[in-house]
Amino acid sequence: MTSTFTFSNQTIHRLGFGAMRITGPGVWGYPHDRDGAIAVLRRAVELGVDFIDTADAYGPEVSEELIRHALHPYGEVRIATKAGQVRPGPGRWIPCGRPEYLRQQCELSLRRLGQESLDLFQLHRVDPTVPAEEQFGLLRELLDEGKVRAVGLSEVSVDLIQRAEEIVPLSSVQNLYNVTSRHSEEVLEYCESRGLGFIPWYPMASGELARPGGVLDSLASSRGVSVAQLSLAWLLHRSPVVIPIPGTSRVDHLEENMGATTLVLDDELLATLNSLSLPSVN
C-alpha cells in the first residue's frame, strides 16, 4: 500500500487532517478550547500529518486563522483550503460561485494563512446559479497567475469533473465517501483513472453498519481496533489516490485515528469490508 500521493509536484502522506472541527458548534466561531485546538494541529504534524484540509467557511475564517497560529511557517506541511460557500449563521451554508467572490476569498485565504500561493485551492461547491464554466475559468486564472499551486473540486459528479478539465487542470476531488456510504464510487474510479487525488470527507463509517454491536463494530472489536481505525484503514487500502482527512478536536482521538496507518487488513477482512451492502450504502 502506497503511503504517499503527489499532486502538482507536492508529495504528501495519504492520511491527512480535516480542520473543520477545530471551530465552534455549528462550525461557527472559535472553539471553546482554543489552546486545545492549537494543540491538536501541532500534535497532528508531530505524528507525521503533512496535509491539512480547511476552508474559508469553517468559522468562518477561524480554522485558517488557527492553522496559521499553530503551524506557520509550514515547512513541508501542505494546506488545502476551499472557497465557494457563504455562512449566514451556525450550521447554514449557501453556495456562492461568482468569480469576483471566489477571487476575493482566495486573496483573503492567502492573507489569513500567510502564504504567497495556496497549495491546493478547492471550489467548495459548484454554485447552480452561476455558469459552471465561469467558476472553472476563475480557478484557471488563479492557477495561471500563481495565486494557487493546484486546483480541486468538492461534491461533484464525473460530468462536472470532465467539464472542468476542459478549462483547468485538476489535482483533486473531495466528495463524501466511506465504507458505509459509497455513492461516489464512480467518481473515485474516475479519479483513479486520471491520477486525481480523491479526498473523502466524512471518512468515518456511520449508520446501522457502524452502530455498537453492528457488523463494523464486531469486526473492529475482534481485531482489537476501533471502528474509526478500521474505517480509515479501509479507505487507505481502497485506492492509492484516496487521501482521508479525519477531523477531531481532541488529541486522544487524533492519536487513535493515526493508528490506521499501521493497520494491516488481511484478504479475508478486506473482502468482508468490500462486500458490505445495504440499500442506503449503494
Q: Would you give the DSSP letter of residue 28?
A: B
Question: Among 182, 163, 183, 190, which residue's Cα sits nearest to residue 173?
Answer: 190
Chain centroid to CA 76? 18
CB atoms within 10 A of CB 242: 23
Q: Which residues contact 219 (CB under 8 A, 6 or more apart)?
A: 230, 269, 272, 273
**End-to-end CA, the chain:** 25
Q: Cα(142)–Cα(123) distance, rounded to whole angstroms?
A: 12
Q: Cα(280)–Cα(228) distance, rounded to whole angstroms?
A: 20
**Quick check: is 58 catalytic?**
yes
**Is the separation of the CB atoms in 203 and 177 below 8 Å?**
yes
C-alpha torsion angle, residues 46, 204, 12, 27 (rounded to 10): -70
C-alpha distances in Å from residue 281, one per residue of 111, 177, 180, 231, 275: 41, 10, 5, 14, 11
Catalytic residue among 30, 58, 101, 177: 58
Residues belonging to the chain: 282
**Is the separation of the CB atoms in 160 and 153 below 8 Å?**
yes
The sign of the torsion formed by the CA atoms of 221, 225, 227, 231 equals negative
Residues known to be catalytic? 58
